[in-house]
Chain A
Amino acid sequence: MKKIMGGVSIVLALVIGILPFFTDCLSQGRSLELANRKTVPMKCHWTGIAEIGVAIPLGLVGVSEIVSKRKETFNFLSVVGVALGSLAILFPTFLIGVCANPDMVCNMIMKPGLVLSGSLAIVASVVVFITSRKVAEANL
């Protein structure tokens, strides 16, 4: 079960890292024009950049869950997984956010996709934590 959850974490990490680049406004050719006529990406783009900082460690957590055997390691990985999943949810909702217009692709697909992936990452880490208790018993 822990190996399966590790695999799930890796898949979720890929989704969290890659999804924003296909669903932010910049990918649809939309950006902000400043007063000096310079164009800059909208904040959904920066959320996507921040999510890379979540995706990479989450992927490593997943790999570690597949190869580890010690209960203490799983406990640590679970806590890190929950924290990373929470960040994946917080970046597009509170910390940075996405565009306000509900019709924009970042609102329709990117944000819900990241929230769902973050939630599943949290659940996967909790499952690893619960099932790692059996590791201790096996080491009797």
Chain B
Amino acid sequence: MITLEEVCKDYLLGKGSLVTAVRGVSLDISPKEFVVIVGRSGSGKTTLLNLSAGLTRPTSGNVMLDGTNLWNLSDKQQSYLRSQKIGFIFQFPSLLPTLTVHENVILPTVFGTKLSTAQASDQAKQLLQNVGLEEKLAAYPRQLSAGQQQRVVIARALMNQPEVILADEPTSNLDEKTELEIMDLFRDLHLSMGITIVLVTHTRQLISYGTRAVEMAEGRIVNGNK
């Protein structure tokens, strides 16, 4: 599914200093896995996730999605692949504030879909029903709680029926109760839809939700299968 081969990522910070976020990481993620990547802040887990989605170019190494090297593709091809195969869930509130809940969920179809407008609308409503927010179609993000917003993000991530969900600390802004609700949702999605999930977190207790755990520290995988 996703293969990272000896990827490194350096960032150039202000004043010319170089920071290596990921050092020579190789990781293979197979279909239908639920991989939980844990590590402290600054361990490089978010960067690893971004590399996996093609959101940042590796300084060295290869990133393969279903056997295709992402960085051999044009921006147009890469973006299309991303829209069709990957659903992304962010750490920060990522709903567009000027769009309603319904419009936010439909948004991925703007960048590529096989669905008609009516089909997309119906699917969005269905997804919102699945996450328990069917009554909030016309609401704006500012009218929702943090937990509700994250549910909408999950629905949005599923809109184009992706093969893999990449979730970057999706529960870090949530209280404990809501965190567990969201994690239960991920588990249900994995079990019912067979969707591959790669979830990044600093909370070790969430490891039990996954089928495999990977631990990162200082830009390297220190524990867990490659």
Question: Which A residues are within 8 Å of any B CB, using their own CB?
Answer: 137-138, 140
B139 at the interface (CB under 8 A from A): yes
**4 A-B pairs closest in CB distance:** A140-B139, A137-B138, A140-B138, A140-B143
Chain B residues in 8 Å Cβ range of A140: 136, 138-139, 143
10 contacts between A and B (CB under 8 A): A137-B100, A137-B138, A137-B139, A137-B140, A138-B140, A138-B143, A140-B136, A140-B138, A140-B139, A140-B143
In angstroms, Cα B136 to Cα A140, docked, is 8
Main secondary structure, interface of B, reads loop
Main secondary structure, interface of A, reads helix
New A-B pairs, 5, CB < 8 Å, besides A137-B100, A137-B139, A137-B140: A137-B138, A138-B140, A138-B143, A140-B139, A140-B143
Chain B residues in 8 Å Cβ range of A137: 100, 138-140
Closest chain A residue to B139, Cβ basis:
A140
In angstroms, Cα B140 to Cα A138, docked, is 8
> Smallest distance from the beta carbon of B24 to chain A beta carbons, Å?
51
For chain B, the count of residues having a C-beta within 8 Å of the partner chain is 6
> Smallest distance from the beta carbon of B137 to chain A beta carbons, Å?
9
Quick one: CB contact mask for B138-164 with A, threshold 8 Å, 1 for yes? 111001000000000000000000000
Total CB contacts across the A-B interface at under 8 A:
10
Chain A residues in 8 Å Cβ range of B143: 138, 140
Closest chain A residue to B137, Cβ basis:
A140
In angstroms, Cα B143 to Cα A138, docked, is 8
Closest chain A residue to B100, Cβ basis:
A137
Closest chain B residue to A140, Cβ basis:
B139
In angstroms, Cα B139 to Cα A140, docked, is 7
> Smallest distance from the beta carbon of A32 to chain B beta carbons, Å?
59
In angstroms, Cα B136 to Cα A137, docked, is 11
Chain B residues in 8 Å Cβ range of A138: 140, 143
Closest chain A residue to B135, Cβ basis:
A140
Residues of chain B from 4 to 25 with CB closer than 8 A to chain A in the complex = none
Closest chain A residue to B142, Cβ basis:
A138
In angstroms, Cα B71 to Cα A138, docked, is 44
> Smallest distance from the beta carbon of B44 to chain A beta carbons, Å?
41
> Smallest distance from the beta carbon of B60 to chain A beta carbons, Å?
50
Closest chain B residue to A134, Cβ basis:
B140
In angstroms, Cα B142 to Cα A137, docked, is 12
In angstroms, Cα B136 to Cα A138, docked, is 12
> Smallest distance from the beta carbon of B100 to chain A beta carbons, Å?
8
In angstroms, Cα B140 to Cα A137, docked, is 8
In angstroms, Cα B100 to Cα A138, docked, is 11
Chain A residues in 8 Å Cβ range of B136: 140
Residues of chain B from 90 to 143 with CB closer than 8 A to chain A in the complex = 100, 136, 138-140, 143
> Smallest distance from the beta carbon of A133 to chain B beta carbons, Å?
12
> Smallest distance from the beta carbon of B15 to chain A beta carbons, Å?
44
> Smallest distance from the beta carbon of B143 to chain A beta carbons, Å?
7
